[in-house]
Structure 1
Amino acid sequence: MTIRSFFVFLAAMSVSASVVAHEFEHQPGFPEVPAEWGTVGDGHGEIAVASNGEIYVSVMGGEQPGLQVYSAEGKYLRNVPGAPKDFHGFVIQQEDDGEFLYGVGLWSGTLTKMKLDGTVVFATPVTAIPEKYFWKKKDSDEINPRFTSCAVSPDGTIYVVDGYATDNIHLYDADGSYRETWVGRAEPYNFKNLHKIHIDPRYDEPRILGCDRANLRLVHLSLDGEFLGDFATDLRRPSAAAFHGPYVAIAEIHGRISVLDKDGNIDTTMGTNDDKYNGNRTPPEQWREGIVTSPHGIAFDADGNILMTEYSKFGRILKYTPTSQSGKTELIHDDILGSFRPAKGWMVADSVEAVAGESRFVAEAVEQGGSILFNGAEKNRAAYLFTEAEFQDVSIQLEFMVPKGSNAGVYVMGRYEIQILDSYGKPEVKHSDLGGVYQRWRSKEDAEAKGLPQGYEGVAPKVNAAKAPGEWQTMDIVFHAPRFDAEGKKTQNARFKTVHVNGQLVQTDVEVTGPTRAAPLRGEEATGPIAIQGDHGPIAIRSYVVTPLTAGSGG
């Protein structure tokens, strides 16, 4: 996926996806810092999330300075080999040939592009920029760069801000070559401590969002440098920003995290500290659970959690989790069939029981009421059951029951199947077992012509989590839809982020390049309904919760 395509899908997502939750709660005990460290270390840096969910944090001192990497759950994994120890700001960027990290050295003034394994692509020294754009130390000709942040536009242009010295914004080409400088303290900008800059993807044309800290405001600039105006004012010294759908989270170093909508209005706040803030020497014994001291860097993960790193000589990372999500809907309600498109063979009942040792149910359909949806007592030719609504990124929580030997499936967007099967007791499982990502299928002619098997790309579940037939079971799916550019060209494949069966993780980050075998809908689209397979065997459903999601990006 090109850098431009990455921003195209983020902009589209901000319009079509559901909103982020409006309430958050602090998650204590995050992250799991090795006991021998005591704390993370000098946190005068940034935080960002890679596509695999791993969390990157720049740390300037302590036991493990440099770029620390944590799992999504907060366990310390490693440091990035050879990463600079003065990254005040960095971003993680998905490009055609991989995922890269761009960072700027607070003291060195070096712009570095590297792979996530630490391999350096380029390192452009500060000497590439004319000296006239720098502040010099008193009674000295030595320049004193204080680079605080960088951002990368859809066309690959790199923007670097000298936020602790001149507030100038330096532009580089995609290969790291210096291009030009915008003078930050001149009209019309009048910046004063332009601490961090970010590419704001929420609009038809991406723009720059600047955290003009001492002026207590957020500003918008076009990618060509046109000053578009204030986005929000009277904030508590905004230090950094992160985007999630139509919202932006702001780390305010004067003791607060705020979430703003596209109009710059504050939607919610968290961690507010009105007593003692903006101090990097507050000792850990004076930290208060969930109350911030000096928010400095911020990111969203793909699930909408907020991650924040503080300006602290000891180092502190906090995590806030959404407590509610707009659009969460239970489809099994008083008018069950009203949630779905008309489908032959589907009925509702007050109770459904599996017949021991047989592939059938005992159930009596009812005209009114009923709390269980099912497709008949025995295997029949019931149609696929499609939701009335269509979805893009979505979370699905299903509570279902199948009798012995039965077979069904969940087709997300009507195209990508997670298998439902009576797999109880199998010592080995395949893609066709419960929780498997069902294989794709090529025609016999195509397979013979290419010398390839007809079935491909199926992924077996990590474990057999199936319960015995006749027991109620759960399936939880987190799915990210394929992305398309303005011309309709696919720029990113569909992906099952996680699948859990009966509470056990069975799939993680599985890419699906196209519709799986027997998908009721052909081709690929940006949105689609969810379908339950109804023609391979009996299935009963007593809970069916769908929640539209928004994908996040660190910054």
Structure 2
Amino acid sequence: MKPTALLFLVPALAFAHPDHGKEPGKDLEEAVRTGNGAFMYEAIPHWGELPDGKKIGPTHGGVIIDEKSGFIYVSTDAAHGILVYQPDGKLVKSIAPECQGFHAMAVREERGKTVIYGAQLGGPKALRVCKLDTDGKELLEISKATAGDVEGGWNGLTAVAVAPDGSIFCSMGYGAQFIHKFDEKGKHLKSFGGKGTGDGKTTCSHGMAIDTRYGAPRLLVCDRESRRLVHFDLEGNWIGVHATNLRRPCTLSILGDVCAVAELEARVTILDKNGAPVAFLGDNPNKAQWAGFGIPLDQMKTGIFTAPHGLSFDKAGNLYVQDWNASGRVTKLKKL
């Protein structure tokens, strides 16, 4: 598979910035449009803000959608753990404080019930993969103790994905770059990948998802510091490069034939099935804010990102995007 260049869409960047008849973010009571072509969205002001001026808390994690209930689950590095929202942005509850520090999450239905998988980088039970029900009850744990002596060591855990057969994949994107495969009960099956820039290697296997757009399921991996997405089959064999020239891709969400990519350098990009960009969302013209964890909320504009880290489509095509931010920030992009 050949890498896909982004250069031919450079002119489209002119249409990527939010534009709702006013300067983005100035009127916080009105939605701000962003996107281009068939992928236009409105950023909803004040979505997900907590009551009484409380802060969400540091966001260095992920977003998943429970399609059965419609609830949105947002992981945080704060003591309350995972926040659960209604689609309108109202907080329903918080769950699993012991799962503070979920760096990424995956969701699937098992035996008629929604379950959540988290890759826990920090917090009170750091460096484990944890499976939860939607109330936060722990159902499975994979840790250094249970994983055994895996290749490259058990450190720097950044991502988790679950295949249709229940196989669990987790990535050591802040460590030795190996991806480990486990069966549905947590037994280690194999390891693959490793650090590098060539075929089958990554320089930061930061996020990943199961990609079912090509027949047999594949693993689509964000190779963040190589600024690309790459495919492996579910046995760990290299397939090829899917997209290049991205702005440090952190995670992704697939809906139909398109894939949304959270790019740490202040943008969300939507790619088609061939890896070509079809829309840019919330592109930040202020490079001083790119990948900025400490940007104060009052310096962030509605519809403009600073450091997208986690995101998810819902079934209607709306996007929920989490910025990497010290105070905590989540944006709802409503599909038009």
Common fold: TM-score over 0.5: yes
Q: Give yes or no for contact 2:80–2:97 (8 Å, CA) kept in 1.
A: no
Distance 1:21 1:83, change over 3 A: farther
Residue of structure 2 aligned with 1:286, choices 283, 299, 303: 299
- Give, in angstroms, the shift of residue 177 of structure 1: 1.8
Q: Give yes or no for contact 1:53–1:302 (8 Å, CA) kept in 2.
A: no
Give runs of aligned pairs for residues 227-306 of structure 1, distance below 5 A: 227-275=238-286, 276-306=289-319
Q: Distance in 1 between matches of 2:186 and 2:285?
A: 42
Tell me if 1:121 matches 2:132: no
- Give me the TM-score of the superposition, normalised by structure 2: 0.83
Q: Give yes or no for contact 2:193–2:201 (8 Å, CA) kept in 1.
A: no
Tell me which moved more, 147-156 or 182-191: 182-191
Q: Distance in 1 between matches of 2:118 and 2:82?
A: 10
1 or 2 for the larger relative contact order (CA 8 Å, sep ≥6)?
Answer: 2
Moved over 4 A (4+): none
Give CA-to-partner distance per residue, 1:160-210, whole Å, 9 cap, x none: 001111111011110112222114226632200110011012221121110
Aligned counterpart, 1:56: 73
Aligned counterpart, 2:223: 212
Q: Distance in 2 between matches of 1:25 and 1:163?
A: 32
Amino acid of the residue matched to residue 85 of structure 2? Answer: Y
Residue of structure 1 aligned with 2:182, choices 160, 172, 182: 172
Q: Give yes or no for contact 1:185–1:192 (8 Å, CA) kept in 2.
A: yes
Segments of structure 2 that go 5 or more residues without pairing to the other structure are 1-36
Amino acid of the residue matched to residue 41 of structure 2? Answer: F
- Give, in angstroms, the shift of residue 128 of structure 1: 2.9
Distance 1:283 1:170, change over 3 A: same
Q: Give yes or no for contact 1:243–1:300 (8 Å, CA) kept in 2.
A: yes
Q: Distance in 2 between matches of 1:318 and 1:310?
A: 8
Aligned counterpart, 1:26: 43
Q: Give yes or no for contact 1:21–1:322 (8 Å, CA) kept in 2.
A: no
Q: Give yes or no for contact 2:86–2:92 (8 Å, CA) kept in 1.
A: yes
Instruction: Give the percent of matched residue pairs that are identical in Structure 1 and Structure 2.
Output: 31
Aligned counterpart, 2:62: 46
- Give me the TM-score of the superposition, normalised by structure 1: 0.51
**Structure 2 residue matching 1:288: 3-state secondary structure:** coil
Aligned counterpart, 2:27: none
Amino acid of the residue matched to residue 164 of structure 1? Answer: Y
Segments of structure 1 that go 5 or more residues without pairing to the other structure are 1-19, 136-142, 324-555
Q: Give yes or no for contact 2:150–2:191 (8 Å, CA) kept in 1.
A: no
**Structure 2 residue matching 1:35: 3-state secondary structure:** helix
- Give, in angstroms, the shift of residue 221 of structure 1: 1.0
Q: Give yes or no for contact 1:123–1:176 (8 Å, CA) kept in 2.
A: yes
Q: Give yes or no for contact 2:159–2:206 (8 Å, CA) kept in 1.
A: yes
Give runs of aligned pairs for residues 427-446 of structure 1, distance below 5 A: none
Q: Give yes or no for contact 2:177–2:195 (8 Å, CA) kept in 1.
A: yes
Q: Distance in 1 between matches of 2:221 and 2:137?
A: 29
Give runs of aligned pairs for residues 375-394 of structure 1, distance below 5 A: none
Aligned counterpart, 1:317: 330
Q: Give yes or no for contact 1:243–1:249 (8 Å, CA) kept in 2.
A: yes
- Structure having the higher Rg: 1
Distance 1:83 1:71, change over 3 A: farther
Residue of structure 2 aligned with 1:225, choices 232, 236, 243: 236
Pairwise CA RMSD of aligned residues? 1.7
Tell me if 1:148 matches 2:164: no
Give CA-to-partner distance per residue, 1:259-309, whole Å, 9 cap, x none: 110011111111001322101000111111211000000101121111100
- Give, in angstroms, the shift of residue 21 of structure 1: 4.2
Q: Give yes or no for contact 1:272–1:292 (8 Å, CA) kept in 2.
A: yes
Q: Distance in 2 between matches of 1:121 and 1:50?
A: 17
Tell me which moved more, 228-237 or 184-193: 184-193
Q: Give yes or no for contact 2:119–2:158 (8 Å, CA) kept in 1.
A: yes
Give CA-to-partner distance per residue, 1:3-51, whole Å, 9 cap, x none: xxxxxxxxxxxxxxxxx942122111212322241x3110000001002
Amino acid of the residue matched to residue 129 of structure 1? Answer: A
Q: Distance in 1 between matches of 2:285 and 2:238?
A: 33
Q: Distance in 1 between matches of 2:180 and 2:164?
A: 17
Q: Distance in 1 between matches of 2:193 and 2:268?
A: 29
Aligned counterpart, 2:52: 35
Count of paired positions: 293
- Give, in angstroms, the shift of residue 72 of structure 1: 1.1
Aligned counterpart, 1:94: 109
Distance 1:272 1:127, change over 3 A: same
Distance 1:35 1:21, change over 3 A: farther
Q: Distance in 1 between matches of 2:104 and 2:211?
A: 16
Q: Distance in 1 between matches of 2:97 and 2:110?
A: 22
**Structure 2 residue matching 1:133: 3-state secondary structure:** coil
Q: Give yes or no for contact 1:67–1:83 (8 Å, CA) kept in 2.
A: no
**Structure 2 residue matching 1:100: 3-state secondary structure:** strand
Q: Distance in 1 between matches of 2:318 and 2:146?
A: 38
- Give, in angstroms, the shift of residue 127 of structure 1: 2.2
Amino acid of the residue matched to residue 73 of structure 2? Answer: Y
Distance 1:234 1:75, change over 3 A: same
Tell me which moved more, 83-92 or 145-154: 83-92
Q: Distance in 2 between matches of 1:264 and 1:318?
A: 24
